[in-house]
Amino acid sequence: MKKTVLVTGGCGYIGSHTVVDLINHGSNVIIVDNLANSSIEVLNRIKIITGVMPLFYKLDILDREGLEDVFANNKIDAVIHFAAFKAVGESVEKPLDYYYNNISGSIILFQIMQKYNVKNIVFSSSSTVYGNPKTVPVDESFPTSATNPYGWSKLITEQILRDLHVADNSFTVAILRYFNPVGAHKSGILGEDPKGIPNNLMPYISQVAIGTREYVNVFGNDYDTYDGTGVRDYIHVLDLSNGHILALDYLYKNQGQVLITNLGTGRGYSVIDVIKSYSRACGRELLYKICPRRAGDVAVSYANCDHAYKTIGFKAQYNLDDMCNDSWKWQSNNPNGYEK
């Protein structure tokens, strides 16, 4: 029977791509999003790609009554919980906002799920929960820690889910630790549209490519890596959304389990690799400037993906050139993002 999946933060970058995949795999989708960091236009784009307009509630997950109504009025089988604030720097400046939105919002959601007997949950965590890993590749047995309120909000929510499962083991939980999601939908009509100055490398490079910014800031070229710049595990957002489909399938078949897994490619690329690949994608040499290292950045981080493969059969399909080509297709078709 067709399952109904509630997607919090479904208008956001990763959420919107996952919604497309869910619809294409035959799920009914309900989106709850307050549009704090996304655009209503995303719904039209989802409709163009899939032919389906998902049921949408413009709602804050902190609005307990509003969220309860969604559960009372719909028969929901599972929740994928993307809704959160995600800017590391901002979280240092506004810790209370981050803890309130990311942790209190999650608690309200889990309480309502429990009340309405919806016990399948996929949670968006992050490789940031590994803090500063001592070695690579990073696997799920590595110690966890955090260096900022955003990271703590992910780690604490992970712990809440584990404790919830101990208390009520009919809760079936997938905690997905994403590495660095980049790229866009192949159609070029769905992509990442950050508000303000982008925090992450790829959207920043995209804005240099489109001419909104002059050059890319490269933070440090004296790391112990093959070209001196930081090395990270970039994962195509389409691979990531597929990881959610596989995780959900795993949950349906393994009731009462807790799955914690990395989602990455298992391979690292340097900042210079990304700039070069993007330059090829957009057909011109992109300028960059070497700046001092940023506090807290590690030289190299990439995932060990064996667990994801063994448990849910996940293996990333796309390489860095695919990520840059798709990101450029989106950016060049939508120079102002979702704004007309």
Ligand X SMILES: NC(=O)c1ccc[n+]([C@@H]2O[C@H](COP(=O)([O-])OP(=O)(O)OC[C@H]3O[C@@H](n4cnc5c(N)ncnc54)[C@H](O)[C@@H]3O)[C@@H](O)[C@H]2O)c1
Catalytic residues: 150
Nearer to ligand X, 120 or 169 (CB): 120
Contact status, residue 116 vs residue 72, Cβ threshold 8 Å: yes
Among all chains, which residue has been given the structure tokens 């309120």? 149
Nearer to ligand X, 171 or 178 (CB): 178
CB of 283 to ligand X, least distance (A): 26
CB of 37 to ligand X, least distance (A): 4
What are the residues binding ligand X (CB under 6 A)?
Answer: 8-9, 11-15, 32-38, 60-62, 82-86, 101, 105, 124, 126, 178, 181, 200
CB-based contacts of 38-42 (< 8 A; 24+ apart in sequence): 38/9, 38/11, 38/12, 38/13, 38/193, 39/11, 39/193, 39/337, 39/338, 39/339, 40/11, 41/338, 42/11, 42/16, 42/190, 42/338
CB of 12 to ligand X, least distance (A): 2
Short-list 308, 315, 230, 202, CA closest to 265: 315
Tell me phi and psi for residue 214, to 5 degrees.
-80, -45
Nearer to ligand X, 188 or 228 (CB): 188
Question: Cα–Cα distance between 210 and 188 in angstroms, integer?
Answer: 15
